[in-house]
């Protein structure tokens, strides 16, 4: 089985805050901010989870602290990686989302919580 290398590129218009991989993952870059009392907060890098919107495509909400916008993952993917067709980007985003949902369902079943819920 051939392994592909994960490449990360900045998300267009969100270059300082978010990156997207050629495999459809979106991550928030590590940031630090300071409040009005000069307290510094550090936010580590983290993967952003997507959701299926009303169109049936996978979307994410990106925020800069004041403004939040919803974006379709496949469109972000084609902007960052022009060599990936929109059709392939849709398949990558859906596969990534389906895999994440299956992992959550598996963890839920094996955690013993499912037995308590029944």
The domain ranges of the chain are: 8-111
pLDDT at 12 (0 to 100): 93
* pTM for the full predicted model: 0.73
Could you write out the DSSP letters of every residue in the chain? -PPPPP-EEEPTT-TTTEEEETTS-EEEPPEEEE-TT--EEEE--EEEPPEE-TTSSEEEEEE-SS-EEEEEHHHHHHHH-TTS-HHHHHHHHHHHHHHHHHHHHHHHHHTSHHHHH-
Could you read off the pLDDT tens digit of each residue along the chain, which spans 118 residues? 566 788 999 999 999 999 999 988 999 999 888 888 999 988 899 999 888 888 778 899 999 878 999 999 999 999 999 998 988 888 888 877 777 666 656 665 555 544 444 4
CATH architecture of 8-111: Alpha-Beta Complex (3.90)
């Amino acid at each position: 089985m051939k392994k592909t290398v994960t490449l990360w590129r900045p998300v267009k218009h969100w270059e300082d805050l978010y990156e997207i991989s050629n495999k459809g993952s979106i991550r928030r870059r590590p940031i630090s901010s300071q409040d009005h009392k000069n307290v510094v907060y550090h936010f580590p890098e983290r993967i952003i989870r997507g959701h299926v919107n009303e169109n049936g495509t996978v979307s994410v909400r990106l925020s800069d602290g004041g403004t939040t916008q919803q974006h379709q993952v496949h469109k972000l993917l084609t902007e960052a990686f022009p060599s990936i067709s929109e059709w392939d980007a849709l398949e990558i985003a859906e596969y990534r989302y389906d895999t994440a949902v299956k992992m959550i369902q598996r963890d839920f079943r094996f955690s013993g919580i499912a037995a308590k819920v029944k």
